[in-house]
Structure 1
Amino acid sequence: MNHRTAFAAALLVLVSPLAAHAQDGHVNHAAAHSHAHAAFASDRIHVAVEGQGPDVIFIPGLSSSPAVWQGTVDHLNGAYRVHRIHVQGFAGAPAEGNAAGPVAAPVAEEIARYIREQGLQKPAVVGHSMGGTMGMMLAARHPDLVGKLMVVDMIPFMGAMFGPPGTTAQSVVPVADQVFTAQSTAPRDQYLTQARAAVTGMIRTEAARPGPLADVENSDQQVSASAFRELIVTDLRPELGKITAPVEVLYVKFNDPRMTDAITDAIYQMSFATLPGAKLKRVDDSAHFIMLDQPTAFYGDLDAFLAQ
């Protein structure tokens, strides 16, 4: 297996949407998770807000809940006003406007509307995995709204790894369609089996796995499959040059023995070549959920990033 094929296999494990259908609505969901929602009407997202100070928006990844940021919020200890995005269709939230079609791009637009309507002044944006994709969309398409951007373990064009050199967003559509069909029609038990295997690979720290496992199991299968298809066919590299905010990218070595530190570094450097000002930093001894596997290192990087 060559490096490119190995990377594609790693990415499939990394962001595979592994979900059952969500059951509860906004009210039950809010009660279960004990947080207050911002006064913002949307059928794409809802937002939990807490703390005082400079604004920071946290965006979770595919089939993830705002709870993945709980340790981070606890670490910030009220020094910032934190806005945690919950994408409809993920982690127990009803699908609503995300029930069909693209997810990341329209959600990024809703976050832009949220920033405007809530009067946030150049908030910092932190996005994990697919949340990093949304963060890049937001910063590139609405550069006036973002103060700084941290991308946690995500590249701007995942689809490049699903085809030969020179693969484009258009040429990878047939592959994306095949993946979508397979995932959207998979029996529920197959999804649950995949979820348990994938989360094991995405989080090294065994004690941190139950929450993300529950999130993917309580996500809407169609929303997750649609979102994954969208990730494959979305190439943000041509748009990265429009980003004016400082950008930091934290990443880990891909979860495949054939993917060395050097190969991983090269892939990230190549992927972000159109944003030469971006700071790229590999976090060692961690899997995909850096904030869960290496919280001390992550908090240190985040503190320095927010203090800039």
Structure 2
Amino acid sequence: MRRILLLILALMAMASPALAQGAFRSDRIIVETRGRGPDVILIPGLGSTATAWGPAVNRLDDNYRLHLVTVRGFGETAIAGNAEGGIEGPVANEIRRYMAEQRLNRPALIGHSMGGQIALRVAADAREGVSRVMVVDSAPFFPALVDARATSAQIEPIAQVIYQALMLFGDSALTSQIGGFGGDLGAAGDMVFGSLGLQGGDRRILAQGLYEVMTVDLRLRLREITAPVTVAYGWSRDENNPRSKLEALFRSGFDNLRTPARFEPIEGAEHQVMSDQPQRFLAAVQRFLAS
């Protein structure tokens, strides 16, 4: 019996690459691995877990090894180390540590909303260690999608008010306290506020995360990215819809890249591109990974 048990354990170890390499432990992120093939890391947006990628995961894991990141504190996960300090910087560092410990071979990065900003940070720090980057309805500095002259210093007082509202009221602040900001900001407001409340989370990380999404300016860091960047975003043919004008704003926001970004408008999608237009989103991701 003991020999049979040892044989079963040995077979399980050989069948599981994650076990063979050693389980990754982090008080900032959780990573689930699916499929086989070239490595792709997917980073969801504010208030979302790895399940936000929806049906695209079930199609991609046939040909790629997917590393599905969840930031601790989003959804039903315990906040752990994200209870204190910043979010985007420490999470980006943990993703790079994961890449190193798991010996990933120049993974592709896909990040939605705040996850897109995190992906840009990882790419700027890892440089040649990343093969390509897709940001989904994300920008290096969200306020620039309203006014290219905006600065973090100008936005900071508003961000502080929203931070306090979230700390006081939690998810209810998304509608009762700060819902009006989204309408005033048009498409950019939808991008900043639209992801909140999708799966919710601990109010401490929601407040800190939204504060960073509003105030972090990564435009100068774009010069450090060597990997090609694709920008996918919700788009509308309706000229009365603010999303019909997003491409020009995105082009301005990503001007500092060494190589011009490739743009993938997803017609009919709003901020939650993956669920709004799952087939069109999947097609865009497949083009991105094949490029």
TM-score (norm 1): 0.76
For structure 2, the 5+ residue unaligned runs are 1-17, 188-195
SS in 2 for 1:300: helix
How far the C-alpha of 1:42 sits from its partner, in A, is 0.7
* Correspondence for 2:169: 186
Cα 1:222/1:257, change in 2 over 3 Å = farther
* Correspondence for 1:139: 123
Letter in 2 for 1:230: E
1:198-256 deviation per Cα after TM superposition (whole angstroms, max 9, x unaligned): 9xx99xxxxxxxxx96612xx10110110110111110100111111111000124899
Query: Matched residues in 2 for 1:214 and 1:108: separation?
Result: 22
Letter in 1 for 2:290: A
Cα 1:45/1:256, change in 2 over 3 Å = farther
* Correspondence for 1:68: 52
1:76-126 deviation per Cα after TM superposition (whole angstroms, max 9, x unaligned): 242111100010000111111111231111101110110011100100111
Aligned equivalent of 2:138, options 154, 179, 191: 154
Letter in 2 for 1:223: I
Query: Matched residues in 1 for 2:169 and 2:197: separation?
Result: 18
Aligned pairs for 1:190-205 (under 5 A) are 190-191=173-174
Aligned equivalent of 1:293, options 266, 276, 285: 276
Aligned equivalent of 1:87, options 71, 75, 78: 71
* Correspondence for 1:225: 207
Aligned equivalent of 1:249, options 231, 238, 242: 231
How far the C-alpha of 1:171 sits from its partner, in A, is 3.6
For structure 1, the 5+ residue unaligned runs are 1-35, 203-211
CA RMSD of aligned residues (A): 3.1
SS in 1 for 2:268: coil
Greater Cα radius of gyration, structure 1 or 2: 2
TM-score (norm 2): 0.80
User: Which structure is richer in relative contact order (CA contacts within 8 A, separation 6 or more)?
Assistant: 1
How far the C-alpha of 1:288 sits from its partner, in A, is 1.1
SS in 2 for 1:150: strand
1:32-69 deviation per Cα after TM superposition (whole angstroms, max 9, x unaligned): xxxx9981111100100111111110100000011112
How far the C-alpha of 1:191 sits from its partner, in A, is 4.9
Between the two proteins, the alignment pairs up a number of residues equal to 260
Query: Matched residues in 2 for 1:84 and 1:245: separation?
Result: 20
